[in-house]
Structure 1
Amino acid sequence: MRVEYSLLAPYIIKITANLWHQRLGHPGNQAIKSMGLVDSLNRCSACELNKIHKLPFNPQLNDANKALECIKIHMVGLIPPPSVSGNQFFLTIVYQATSFEMVNSLKHKSEALKRFFVAKAYMENLQNLALKKLVSNCGGEFLNKDFNPLTELKVFLHIF
């Protein structure tokens, strides 16, 4: 039986260094070289993307020694699918000095400000102290007409 290789040509793929790299789970250059497959790799966009990381908050913001000296808030969402109760967002509030955390689940992003003020009032009454510094990720829920007057009146310092 004779095989006509010209008929197989469309199904034959040239296996490149990058294809080996992808199929083997994106190992580094050294691993690929040690297998004797190729000498070097081209840049892999997936590997470069996975090496990117978000910088942590400024270390100067981690100097809180007393309760309510510094609070960090972060909004997460839209999370598909919604929870059984219809929540698609959550708000985390971390009290820096004590590492006490509160997590509030929300149906709408617009609820974040109200939940923050409820948590703030609760902790201020509990500790008999006032909030001094608030750190947020510069999200729109904390940069609006309802929130800005408090920072302008110097009720507390808002850091982004």
Structure 2
Amino acid sequence: MSTLFVVFRPDDVKVYHELKFSGTPFMEGRKVNSIYVMSAESAYVDKVKKNETAVLWHERLGHVGYHKLKVMINNEMLKGLPKLEVNVDNVCSGCQYGKAHQLPYEDSKYRAEEPLQLIHSDVFGPVFGCRYMVTFIDDYSRYVWVYFMKEKSEALQKFKEFKNKAECDLQTKVRCLRTDNGGEYTSNEFAEYLKESKIRRQLTCPHTPQQNGVAERKNRRKSNQ
């Protein structure tokens, strides 16, 4: 990049390619109060106009299709849009990436063989009437326990309430808890309680809610009601 020379004067500022002040400045601005303000037109707009392409306008207009961009140019539908050659066969990598679909996950073939063998849990909110809700879903029967919370930190207390009630009603023990990696589940206090209760923990991989799909789908239905 070439060296530029900035000259501050009492009322304005000018930028030159060389120290020859008789020529036209590369950029210029004026002094407003105690601040020198560069001209946006000379600093940006004029230079951008020299490098305008159909690809650049495609991106400026929110990745509009090249067919539509060509129609807009031919019909002069947008003020300031220059006459450009548009190749309708252009492929934009950003458009391809944004429109790509993730392949579906295979349905899990595992199903608990008895109540409380595997519990799915998830916290969601805020919801109407309270801040958060936590659900506990039995994998065997798909029975759902729902608890309301003011703070996510109450998740451990609600799990204890669920565990005591479910084990008393069903006369069996909770053996495994499957959750995401939310801080309400990964605290040292929660981990220690599960260890003391001899409950196995299953944490999903980061950014993979599909692995906790039973709880995620249940909460989505509740939030849509």
Correspondence 1:115 to 2:115:
no
Question: What residue in structure 1 maps to residue 64 of structure 2?
Answer: 19
- The counterpart of 1:145, out of the listed 165, 168, 188, is 188
| Residues in 2 aligned to 1:40 and 1:148: alpha-carbon distance in whole angstroms | 53
Residues 106-131 of structure 1: CA deviation (Å, up to 9, x unaligned)? 22111111111111111111100001
Distance 1:146 1:53 in 2: 37
Aligned residue among 63, 72, 83 for 2:111: 63
3-state DSSP class of the match of 1:118? helix
Q: What's the CA shift for 1:64?
A: 0.7
Deviations 1:121-158 (A, max 9, x none): 11111100001111111221112232222333352111
CA distance in structure 1 between the aligned counterparts of 2:134 and 2:103, rounded to whole angstroms: 22
Using the alignment, how far apart are the partners of 1:88 and 1:110 within structure 2?
12
Q: How far apart, in 1, do the equivalents of 2:103 and 2:200 lie?
A: 27
What pairs with 1:1-160 in structure 2 (closer than 5 Å)? 16=58, 18-20=63-65, 38-43=88-93, 44=95, 45-48=97-100, 51-52=101-102, 59=108, 62-77=110-125, 79=126, 83=128, 85=129, 87-153=130-196, 155-160=198-203
TM-score, normalising length: structure 1: 0.63
Query: What does the per-residue CA deviation read over 1:3-35, in whole Å, with 9 as the maximum and x for residues that have no partner?
Result: xxxxxxx9xxx67494127x8xxxxxxxxxxxx
Separation in 1, partners of 2:139, 2:170: 14
Residues 91 and 153 (structure 1), Cα distance of their counterparts in 2 relative to 1, 3 Å cut: same
Structure 1 pair 155–96 and aligned structure 2 pair: CA distance change class (3 A): same
Segment drifting more, 39-48 vs 90-99:
39-48
Instruction: Return closer, same or farther for 1:53/1:105 CA change in 2, 3 Å cut-off.
Output: farther
Question: CA distance change for structure 1 residues 106 and 46 in 2, over 3 Å: closer, same or farther?
Answer: farther
| SS state at 1:92 partner | strand
Partner of 2:39: none
Paired amino acid for 1:39: D
In structure 2, distance between residues paired with 1:76 and 1:54: 24
Question: How many matched pairs?
Answer: 126
Task: Quote the Cα distance in structure 2 between the aligned partners of 1:130 and 1:64.
Answer: 13
Asked which structure has the greater RCO (Cα within 8 Å, sep 6+), the reply is: 1
**Larger Rg over CA atoms:** 2
Aligned-pair CA distance for 1:90: 1.8
Q: What is the RMSD of the two structures over their aligned residues, measured on CA atoms?
A: 3.2
